[in-house]
Amino acid sequence: MSPIIGIDLGTTYSCIAYLNGNKPEVIPNLDGHLVTPSAVSFTADGQILVGNVAQRQAVANPERTVTAVKRLIGRKFDSPEVEEAKKRVPYRLVPASNGDVMIAIDNQIISPQEISSLILSYLKACAEAYLGERINEAVITVPAHFNDHQRQATKDAAYIAGLEVLRVINEPTAASLAFGLEANKNCTVAVFDMGGGTFDITILEIQDGIFHVLSTNGDTYLGGEDFDNRIVAWLLDEFKKESGLDLSADKFSLQRIREAAERAKRELSFVLETEINLPFIAIDETGSKHIFKKLSRAKLEDLTRDLIWKTIPLIEQALADARLSPKNIDEVILVGGQTRMPYLRQVIAEFFNQEPRTGIDPDLIVAMGAAVQSGIIKGQITDLALLLDVTPFSLGIETENDGYQVIIEKNTTIPTRKTMAFTTVEHNQVRVRIHVLEGENPLASQNKSLGWFDLIGLEPAPAGVPQIDVTFEIDADGLLRVSAREAATGREQSMEIHYAAGLSRGEVAALKERHRPFALPGKK
């Protein structure tokens, strides 16, 4: 049996691992690094570059180099998150015919799923080169607060890349699996996960090999990139004050500044002050202009303090949903590169009144946990017997007068299935529209629409007489299927919410057919 790989498909960096014996082991990429930049670059001569080599193209080729695509996957073009991204990314974003966000590279229109599939294809090739075997199956992680569209889009990306996804697992839960294998004890755990683009907080119990998620909360647009953006804004402002020049529209200079900002942020996790030195960043009639600034750890904390404190209400809500308080938490696990920031660690330590666990590299722990899950699936690991995750959002349907009836409440253990009875609101109705929603607001219009379908052919009857049973089913990957059945006639209609947004089944199949696997060096 060929190995199953675990993949942490990250906003800024991605990582792959497999189970070596009974222990997870991280697989280096083709450049020998344990993490791979989640970057794809399209060169003028038609080449597609992925990973470290793509990242190196970002300054010289910013409009054709796509990074942070995880922040776009499964989103609508007119969403607030995409509106914010349009101000930041150097490449062009355009709307698809169904309203999804797409990426424009020269004359090509490319979906976020396609970009992600290129990254996954590269990771697959790295694993095959390292293990010397074909890889066809994977466990892939997603942020716990990813919605149904984002999860399905991630699975589509894997399918295009030639990978069968055996399980989609939440990133904090994956981290807890790696921790649980290492710690081998019963405890209540809080997983604080902040990577490049997303933040999750998950509360779970580990009891005799059963991992039971109690609650989850988070923000799919809060992460390390936002910290970088604060440094970038500060540098642009300082440079404008000193030189009178505004570089905010200069994509080449902006990319240099962005890379310098990320380096400085990383360095300030280990030193109290660092220098940002960017010679020849601009030129005017008086000559060349340079950026030379010292950035202290204290200044970085001032610039980003509010981003860290935005996590606290989300942590408090997760604890409240789990009916726990900080004193009930036995272990705090930090996940994601941004958690290396000393001030962030200090805030979390003070909130939980304990030092977080730092024994496993926060950049690697999620992929390692995905590899552990692969071992559970294959039967290699029997000590960790069961993973019980939850749905991060409430799910229901629209009712009359903009009402919203929740059918499955958030933090319900999955997989799950629930049926609720409804009826007609008008006399002699022969058609009922089932509008599926996701969210917590009592008004239907204030929640996210996942899609709709019509149940037709009802027998004419007075309002309130027909019984229409609506069933919601969520599988272990967190993906939703909805069906409706009218009791008198037995007529039934159903939908997988996949079709409400994203690529159609036909589009995904066509992309897979056209997809070229990443070519290993020396192989055709």
CATH code for the domain of 60: 3.30.420.40
275 counts as catalytic: no
Do both 193 and 73 map to the same domain?
yes
Confidence of residue 501 (pLDDT cuts 50, 70, 90): low
Q: For residue 283, what are the CA distances in angstroms to 32, 235, 251, 286, 448?
A: 38, 17, 15, 8, 47
Quick check: is 209 in a domain? yes
Residue among 70, 124, 155, 448 flagged as catalytic: 70
Whether the pLDDT of residue 498 is over 80: the answer is: no
70 counts as catalytic: yes
Lowest mean pLDDT among 3-12, 205-214, 382-391, 401-410: 382-391
Do both 440 and 347 map to the same domain?
no
8 counts as catalytic: yes
So what's the pLDDT on residue 522? 45
Residue 205, Cβ neighbours under 10 Å: how many? 18
So what's the pLDDT on residue 359? 79
pTM comes to: 0.91
156 counts as catalytic: no
CATH number at residue 488: 2.60.34.10
Do both 334 and 371 map to the same domain?
yes
So what's the pLDDT on residue 384? 63
Lowest mean pLDDT among 38-42, 116-120, 422-426: 422-426
Do both 55 and 204 map to the same domain?
yes
| pLDDT tens sequence across 329-365 | 999 999 999 999 999 999 999 999 999 987 789 999 9
Residue among 8, 148, 438, 486 flagged as catalytic: 8
* Mean of pLDDT over the chain: 92
Do both 79 and 182 map to the same domain?
yes
Question: Whole domain around residue 33: which residue ranges?
Answer: 4-222+311-390
For residues 361 and 348, what is the distance between their CA atoms, to the nearest angstrom?
17
Do both 358 and 439 map to the same domain?
no
Do both 321 and 430 map to the same domain?
no
Cβ burial of 355 (10 Å; 0-12, 13-18, 19+) is exposed
Do both 36 and 98 map to the same domain?
yes
So what's the pLDDT on residue 518? 67
Q: Average pLDDT of 373-384?
A: 82
Residue closest to 495 by CA, chosen among 411, 367, 397, 427: 397
For residues 486 and 430, what is the distance between their CA atoms, to the nearest angstrom?
11
Q: Average pLDDT of 392-419?
A: 95
Instruction: Extract the tokens encoding 7.
Output: 């993949």
Which backbone phi and psi does 204 adopt, to 5 degrees? -150, 160
Do both 27 and 162 map to the same domain?
yes
Do both 332 and 243 map to the same domain?
no
Residue among 114, 148, 156, 171 flagged as catalytic: 171
| pLDDT tens sequence across 233-292 | 999 999 999 999 999 999 999 999 999 999 999 999 999 999 999 999 998 888 899 999
Do both 119 and 170 map to the same domain?
yes
- 15 compared with 22, residue with greater pLDDT: 15
Total of domains in the chain: 3
Residue among 114, 128, 156, 193 flagged as catalytic: 193
Q: What angle do CA 267, 235, 266 make, to 5 degrees?
A: 15
| pLDDT tens sequence across 122-159 | 999 999 999 999 999 999 999 999 988 899 999 999 99
